[in-house]
Structure 1
């Protein structure tokens, strides 16, 4: 379905990119799927780019590419598992995950007496005014909370240092044709 036009057979909900506003696409809308990565798809519509969740895409009969299974060993640390799960979150406009894009500045694991952990994720965005920030933040929190041993999560956005292309991994730069 990637790079194909799809005519919606039923109403669909999504998030406008980059504004971050919730929208409803009416039945019969034509969408052009531009990206199927992580837990969502990105589609071009008559009103611009829209991010559609995996659950909504499944409901519509549009199945995003399955996520790559983790290559971490079973005894990987919680911090390594957090970093790994964050690699499954993709920027809706750029086909690179938020870790390789350089948006995640740090992960702190604080283990409580009950053996459960609090996770503090420090991240940024490619631009301070990006309306997708709350959506990326919520996905990071949801994914981290789903891991065994995690009790609470907070995601903090920071703007210092400001993000720039030099923060991307070599892999990300190669994906984007920058090297």
Structure 2
């Protein structure tokens, strides 16, 4: 069992050091101070959603030491990874991204339309991700996009990430995998 899955909703966790978090739903990086206490809201994939002073934040698994727990290893690829390996890595990281309100990853929800690795003129690698939201007015778009960016940049070979939110074609329940429908009782 990973440290993430051992966290239960409602757990009160004191911060043993300052930690970077992503504000929900704005997607902006912020710092939460040492000696403050947060409450676990959801712990899925490689992130923990917490409540702090009435606001929600997303904390990456590699920062679990801020809770006094063993941190998860930051994802990485060996030197010389091919574009195909980089693309597979991106898809793997996207499967660890969750809407803070839905316990199914964004790939299984059918929110990710595509991923492409591009070599820029200066030789740097950029991951381009096209995705949508369950509804155009969904307030979680920025936090999901920022979570994806952070996780994808775990590969040192990827220098930039462009997450493009699109609404054509519009998302529908039929885009979900069978596993997602089963998890959400939507059969």
Do Structure 1 and Structure 2 share a fold, with TM-score over 0.5?
yes
- Residue of 56, 63, 66 corresponding to 1:59: 66
- Residue of 42, 54, 58 corresponding to 1:35: 42
- Residue of 74, 78, 81 corresponding to 2:89: 81
Counterpart contact for 2:108–2:180, Cα < 8 Å = yes
Q: Which runs of 4+ in 1 moved over 4 A?
A: 7-25, 27-30, 43-46, 112-116
Structure 1 unaligned residues grouped into runs of 5+: none
Cα distance in 2 between the residues matched to 1:142 and 1:170: 28
Root-mean-square deviation over aligned CA pairs: 3.7
Compared with structure 1, are the counterparts of its residues 169 and 63 closer, same or farther at alpha carbon in structure 2 (3 Å cutoff)? farther
Aligned to 2:157: 149
Compared with structure 1, are the counterparts of its residues 146 and 63 closer, same or farther at alpha carbon in structure 2 (3 Å cutoff)? closer
Counterpart contact for 1:115–1:149, Cα < 8 Å = no
Aligned to 2:115: 107
Q: Offset at 1:34?
A: 3.8
Aligned to 2:104: 96
Aligned to 2:8: 2
Q: Offset at 1:127?
A: 2.4
Q: Offset at 1:114?
A: 6.7
Compared with structure 1, are the counterparts of its residues 5 and 139 closer, same or farther at alpha carbon in structure 2 (3 Å cutoff)? closer
Compared with structure 1, are the counterparts of its residues 174 and 153 closer, same or farther at alpha carbon in structure 2 (3 Å cutoff)? same
* SS of the residue 1:3 aligns to: coil
* SS of the residue 2:93 aligns to: helix
Compared with structure 1, are the counterparts of its residues 130 and 16 closer, same or farther at alpha carbon in structure 2 (3 Å cutoff)? farther
- Residue of 146, 156, 166 corresponding to 1:158: 166
Compared with structure 1, are the counterparts of its residues 171 and 63 closer, same or farther at alpha carbon in structure 2 (3 Å cutoff)? farther
Compared with structure 1, are the counterparts of its residues 159 and 173 closer, same or farther at alpha carbon in structure 2 (3 Å cutoff)? same
* SS of the residue 1:77 aligns to: helix
Aligned pairs, number = 172
Counterpart contact for 1:108–1:121, Cα < 8 Å = yes
TM-score of the two chains, using structure 2 as the length reference = 0.68
Q: Offset at 1:52?
A: 3.3
Counterpart contact for 1:40–1:51, Cα < 8 Å = no
Deviation track 1:62-105 (CA, whole Å, cap 9, x = no partner) reads: 779x58x99xxx98632222111111111111111111111111
